[in-house]
A and B are shown apart, each in its own frame.
Chain A
Amino acid sequence: MNFNATLIGQTVTFIVFVWFCMRYVWPPIMAALEERNARITEGLAAAERGQKDLEQAQAKVSENLDEAKQQAQEIINQAQKRANEIVDGAKDIAREEADKIKSAATADIDQQVNSAREQLRKEVSGIALAGAEQILKREVNADTHAAVLDELVAQI
């Protein structure tokens, strides 16, 4: 081992290298590494947040869906109730109408029966009068027997 000025030269070289490394190599790389670290951390946090948001949204969607289903069910129920009401109302109206028609028909029939009875009574009284005339073979004074006839007519 013989020492010479190389010792000094190497020391100076070493100092220069360390200085350069400290000034131009280490800080930028370290800064980039730390920045990337922060970015990755942030990205992971964002991903987690996104996941959570998605879960919340899904929960909300299913909640909305349930609500919508319930509402639809209510609407259907109401519609059915309404339909029943309408049918019931229509039935009532139809019954009323039918009653009206029936009573009108009944009145008509009554009237016709009455008129037929009247006519029959008149015809019978006519026939009775004619029969009586024939039986008696003489003219019956209508005026004198009118009272009797009317009594007859009333009895029929």
Chain B
Amino acid sequence: MAGTIRKEILKVVLRETNEKEEKKKEAEAPSKLDTSNSTGGFVAVSTDIMKYTSVYPDKPELNVILADEPAPWKNLLYYFEIYVKDADFKGKIAIGFTLALFLMNIEPWWEDLIAGHESSHGVLYSGDEDTGSTFLSGDVIGAGINYSTNEFFFCKNGELVHSVPNNLSNRGLYPTIAVLSQHEEMHVNFGQKPFAFNLKDFEARERRKQQQKIEEISLSPQVTYSLIRSYLLHSGYEDTFNSFDVVPSSPITDEQTNTLNHRSTLRQLIMNGNVDGAFAKVHEWYPQIVEVGSQLCIYLLHYYGCYKFELIFKLAYEMPLEVLANAVNAFVLSTDPHMEEAKDCLHSPLERLLKQLTACKRYEGEDFLVEKEFSKRD
């Protein structure tokens, strides 16, 4: 059991030491309407000007066109606008977001979508149904997604006029324009030009709301205290732990205190550059993990691709001292029979929490930098 844990520890230590973040290619943002992604009838005059003319001169016809890319979802907001240059007096224009695949079968969903009702295909907005207000020539209409509140929002001439809950997946939602008319002309703005709607202010307000939500979470002092305590204990900072732990929370259940003195000594030796001394102590105190030095070297050899045997031991000494100290600390913790998983030896709950936040933030498209976040004065 302990052997397996130690193998796990090695893998993680080495992966972390050499973690090279690949810059993921950011998803393209919509830049133009795509005539090939439409029900037909649209003509692109330029990348941002669209004309629609019905092939049937007598009756209005339903047509829909999508942007060339879906809305990027790793942001707080996404927004685009159209300027209605020429609205057909009999017609109706709607703007919003839809899933690409449903273009083939739009007719049955049109009424639902156009009313701004929730649908499994998206949401389109065509003005205020109650007042009968529709979009006229000269209007600037905007549609956006607020990812923090999970809502679609719609604007008219720079004012926020409508919002609808978003129960769809955030991915694959295409900016969409639909017309039920005979001919119109519209100019599309995907952010190439300033918007009529003040998106910057809106975003700042949303961020403030989000920050408030964060600050409203109440924490008991016990939570923060125990996280710090477990970190000091886990990492082997014995003196700090002893001065901090004035009222020991649970001295009996802390298996890690058994090895605290040894781990503290080993960390000090390594951090002072006395790696030989540290390995000698490991040899003396924990013969069962005496292979830690050579195992580390073999893994390093494999990782760095050094094939000359005489370089093996050199590598252990070129490893950052903090990394080596953490690895040895984890190995010593692995001797405890209560340690069932490698993660318990490798990281304290505080470190896991920080990893978790970093991972979540990256997933949401933000690079989370502790330094930037936490050096800010309130």
Q: Are chains A and B native binding partners rather than an unrelated pairing? A: no
